[in-house]
A and B are shown apart, each in its own frame.
Chain A
């Protein structure tokens, strides 16, 4: 079984300030890791993912996350946030199993609110 913990339910931050959204997971096997973003009244958009290779992954809009196997973490960071980054962010894991396709397990989400 696997589980995901997002300790911060809400993170307020001023525009142009840096932000970190924390994600820790537990799993009995290796995992794939994901961050999804959800804007109001919309579905989930994939922000970035770690499948293999470099432990630092980046999105096209300035977010990055680093897979830390020893600390079982996948924290999301952005050096300078914009008003448009206001949304709910979900961390998710998928166990790596033969045949693939195992379900995504989500954290409870972190509401990022960027203020002027």
Chain B
């Protein structure tokens, strides 16, 4: 069984640009979660999507957004990139809303 896959693995952007990160959940999982792991800030919850709807949102500005597609894959969009957005962005999926399986993340560097 394939795990959670994320693309790209690495990304370099400059301030003010926009970025889209992608996540494919484990087959059969309908929930997708996004987390940010920034140096010194730990793992912070960003967004939760389930059955195509945004169910919960962390304490992040509106320039962080996303969506979930009918096949349950998901995108995370970040507009107007700032230096502090440099982080590892982790996607996780769940079939039971209790246990999450994580991907290897996308490392975003802002210059």
Contacts and interface: CB of A to CB of B under 8 A. Distances in A.
Contact of B104 (A43, A99, A107): A43
Contacts of B33: 103-104
Interface stretch (A19-27, A44-52, A62-70, A75-83): A44-52
A51 B42 contact: no
Q: Please report whether the interface of chain B is mostly helix, strand, loop or mixed according to DSSP.
A: strand
B43 A106 contact: yes
Contact of B105 (A43, A105, A107): A43
A90 B43 contact: yes
B98 A43 contact: no
A100 B96 contact: yes
Interface residues of A, number: 24
A92 B96 CA distance: 17
Contacts of B55: 101
Contact of B58 (A46, A92, A94, A103): A103
Given A103-B45, A103-B58, A44 B102 contact: yes
A101 B102 contact: no
A73 interface: no
Interface in B66-111: 90, 92, 94, 96-105
Given A42-B104, A101-B55, A103-B56, A32 B98 contact: yes
Interface of B: 4, 6, 31, 33, 35, 42-43, 45, 48, 50, 55-56, 58, 90, 92, 94, 96-105
Interface of A: 32, 34, 36, 42-46, 49, 51, 90, 92, 94, 99-109
Enumerate the 8 nearest inter-chain pairs by beta-carbon distance, A residue then B residue, closest first: A100-B97, A101-B97, A103-B45, A106-B43, A44-B102, A43-B104, A43-B102, A43-B105
